[in-house]
A = this chain, B = another copy of it.
Amino acid sequence: MIVPLTPLMFLRRTAKLYPDKLAVVCGEHRFSYSQFNKRVHQLSWSLKNLEVHSGMVVAYLSRNCHRLLEGYYGVIQIGAILLPVNVRLTPTDLVFILNDSSATVLFLEQEFVPEIEKIRKKLKTVKHFIVLNDISRRTWLQSLNYEQQLNKSITDPFPDQIKDENSVAELFYTSGTTAKPKGVMLTHRNLYLHAQSVVWAHQNQDSDVQLHTIPLFHANAWGVTHSITLVGGTHVMVSKFRPTKIFQLIEKEKITSFNLVPTMASMLLTSAGISKDFPTLRLIHLGGSTVPTEMVEQLESAFGCSCSCGYGLTETSPVLTISIIKSHLKEDSSAHYKRAAMTGIELPGNEVRVVDENGIDVIQNGKMIGEIITRSNLVMKGYWNLPEETAEAIKEGWFYTGDLATVDPEGYLMIVDRKKDIIIRGGENISSLEVEKTLVTHPAILECAVIAVPSKKWGETPKAFVVIRPNQKVSKQELKFYCRRKLATYKIPSSFEIVRSLPKGVTGKIQKKILRLFHQGNP
Contacts and interface: CB of A to CB of B under 8 A. Distances in A.
Interface of A: 1-3, 5, 9-10, 12-13, 16-18, 21, 166, 189, 192, 196-197, 199-200, 203, 205-207, 230-232, 326-328, 345-346, 348-351, 375-377, 379-381, 394, 397, 399, 410-411
B345 A2 contact: no
A348 B411 contact: no
7 contacts: A3-B376, A5-B349, A12-B351, A13-B346, A17-B346, A196-B348, A199-B348
A351 B13 contact: yes
Contacts of A166: 2
A230 B327 contact: no
B10 A348 contact: yes
Say how many copies of this protein the assembly contains. Answer: 2
A395 to B, nearest CB: 11
Given A200-B199, A326-B206, A399 B1 contact: yes
Of A13, A206, A350, most buried by chain B (CB within 10 Å of CB) is A13
A2 B200 contact: no
Given A206-B326, A326-B206, A348-B13, A1 B377 contact: yes
A33 to B, nearest CB: 12
A302 to B, nearest CB: 26
Contact of A1 (B12, B203, B381): B381
Given A1-B380, A376-B3, A399-B1, A349 B192 contact: yes
A349 B9 contact: yes
Nearest to A352: B13
Contact of A205 (B206, B327, B377, B380): B327
A352 to B, nearest CB: 9
A1 B379 contact: yes
A193 to B, nearest CB: 8
Contacts of A379: 1
A13 B326 CA distance: 13
A184 B21 CA distance: 38
B18 A326 contact: yes
A350 B192 CA distance: 12
Nearest 8 pairs of A and B residues by beta carbon: A1-B379, A207-B327, A17-B411, A196-B196, A200-B200, A206-B327, A3-B377, A230-B348
B200 A377 contact: no
Nearest to A196: B196
A348 B18 CA distance: 12
B2 A189 contact: yes
A327 B209 CA distance: 12
A203 B204 CA distance: 9
A225 to B, nearest CB: 15
A321 to B, nearest CB: 11
Given A9-B348, A200-B200, A348-B231, A3 B375 contact: yes
Contacts of A205: 203, 327
Contacts of A206: 326-328
A9 B230 contact: no
Contacts of A350: 9, 13
A158 to B, nearest CB: 16
Contacts of A326: 17-18, 206, 232
Of A166, A189, A326, A410, most buried by chain B (CB within 10 Å of CB) is A326
A482 to B, nearest CB: 39
